[in-house]
Amino acid sequence: MNFTLTMSFLGAAILLTLLPGPDILFVMAQSISQDKKAGIATALGLCSGLIVHITAATLGVSAIIYQSALAFAVVKYTGAAYLLYLAWQSFKEKEAGFTIRQNEPLKYPSLYKKGIVMNLLNPKVSLFFLALLPQFVDKSIGHIPLQMFLLGILFLVQAFAIFAAVSVFSEKLGYVLLGNSFIAKRMNMIKGFILGIIGI
């Protein structure tokens, strides 16, 4: 794999994982309302669900690549356009803040299962991987399916590491991100900026 592309992907993956969204907010909510183990159990479920999306994206895009170089280019630029669309949506919602809803305490196995279901039932995750992974594939070195799968696993590992850290420090992070109205109201703009840069 191309080292520069891989490091670029890792940087983008870390930024995207840190963006406030349903997954990270649910991890925070469980950690704040219960304990860090509840957040980690949720994170394990979410990351288990990612394996399905990564495999689907790898097999789907790989099949297209083997058929046509033009088709690969279409997938790649369509993916970039989708990322820019997500950025535009974030800018449209720039004034919306983020809230954490208190849920009834759930046992760790239930949280793990809920994490899997949340992830699998979110079609945006599949679209996101279809959009993101091809941007960091080096077609010149071949082994496209392996490259995409390894990038997906790298995304999964860093996502779990970040979710686990968020679980441990969620109380402080929650107060900083959600207790400060100035930051909360600008989270969508930050998200839009990051998605736009990656799309470009």
Question: For residue 13, what are the contacts with CB-CB under 8 A and spacing of at least 6?
Answer: 154, 155, 158, 159
Task: Say which residue the tokens 């495999």 belong to.
Answer: 55
- DSSP conformation class of 140: G
Residues of the chain with pLDDT under 50: none
pLDDT of 159 reads 93
pLDDT of 150 reads 92
Tokens of 198: 């990656």
Q: What is the value of pTM for the model shown?
A: 0.70
Residue type, 104: E
Q: Considering the chain, what is the average pLDDT of its residues?
A: 78
Residue type, 60: G
Percent of the chain with pLDDT over 90: 16
Task: Say which residue the tokens 């509840």 belong to.
Answer: 38
pLDDT of 22 reads 72
pLDDT of 63 reads 66
- Are the C-beta atoms of residues 142 and 127 closer than 8 Å to each other? no
pLDDT of 157 reads 95
DSSP H helical ranges for the chain = 3-18, 22-33, 36-67, 69-92, 108-120, 123-132, 144-178, 181-184, 187-199
pLDDT tens-digit profile of 112-137? Answer: 998 888 888 766 677 778 778 888 88
d(CA 149, CA 59): 9
